[in-house]
């Protein structure tokens, strides 16, 4: 996308959507446009879906990064989306486990053993179920200090493992160019005010 197209997209979203939803939607659309050149025949449909989910998850996480540990979020319009992020996080590790020996996952293999990935899946599944139960009982979720950062890091590893390091670097450069433009439109109410304690 050209700078003019990115600005047009952001401005349209800001005019037609609630502010935080406009930021999330713009984030996803900028990311999808940056990914499009890499959606070639060599990438399976499931991998494309995982890439899209990683953008969707990170767009939601972007609203809540930087909150102190133990923060309680009580925002009904955002909580279901954050619970989906937990499931996407679990699915990202499951995908990385299933495709552990893929040549593109070499960088990931250097950092994590297969046993560590399996342990992460077990732990994340348990944590997701705990958060879902907490939400069902109290309509809140509590953030552990490092969770959102770990989630974002996992989605980056997923992108590298699917795209390969060279393609990921090209995608990342284009995506970051768009995000730099988006940051110019952001106000200070990120994360959303109200419902956070």
Residue 43, preceding peptide bond in cis (omega within 30° of 0): no
Q: Which residues of 120-153 are buried (b: 16+ CB within 10 A; e: fewer)?
A: bbeebbeebeebeeebeeeebbebeeebbeebbe
pLDDT at 144: 66
Q: What is the pTM of this model?
A: 0.85
CA distance 72 to 196: 6
Asked whether residue 193 carries a pLDDT value surpassing 70, the answer given is no
pLDDT at 24: 87
Per the listing, tokens 């994590």 go with 112
Question: What whole-number percentage of the chain has pLDDT above 90?
Answer: 41
The per-residue pLDDT for range 50-68, each reduced to its tens digit, is 999 999 998 888 777 656 6
CA distance 190 to 14: 15
């Amino acid at each position: 996308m050209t700078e003019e197209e990115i600005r047009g997209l952001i401005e349209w979203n800001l005019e037609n959507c609630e502010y935080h939803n406009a930021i999330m939607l713009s984030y996803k659309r900028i990311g999808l446009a940056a990914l499009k050149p890499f959606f070639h025949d060599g990438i399976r449909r499931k991998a494309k879906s995982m890439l899209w989910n990683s953008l969707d998850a990170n767009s939601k996480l972007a609203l809540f990064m930087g909150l102190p540990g133990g923060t309680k979020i009580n925002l009904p319009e955002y909580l279901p989306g954050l619970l989906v992020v937990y499931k996407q996080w679990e699915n990202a590790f499951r995908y990385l486990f299933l495709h552990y020996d893929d040549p593109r996952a070499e960088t990931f293999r250097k950092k994590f053993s297969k046993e560590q990935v399996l342990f992460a899946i077990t732990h994340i599944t348990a944590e997701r179920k705990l958060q879902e139960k907490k939400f069902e009982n109290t309509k809140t979720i509590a953030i552990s200090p490092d969770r959102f950062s770990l989630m974002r890091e996992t989605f980056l590893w997923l992108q590298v493992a699917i795209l390969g390091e060279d393609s990921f670097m090209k995608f990342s450069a284009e995506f970051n160019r768009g995000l730099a433009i988006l940051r110019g439109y952001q106000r200070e109410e990120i994360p959303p005010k109200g419902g956070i304690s």
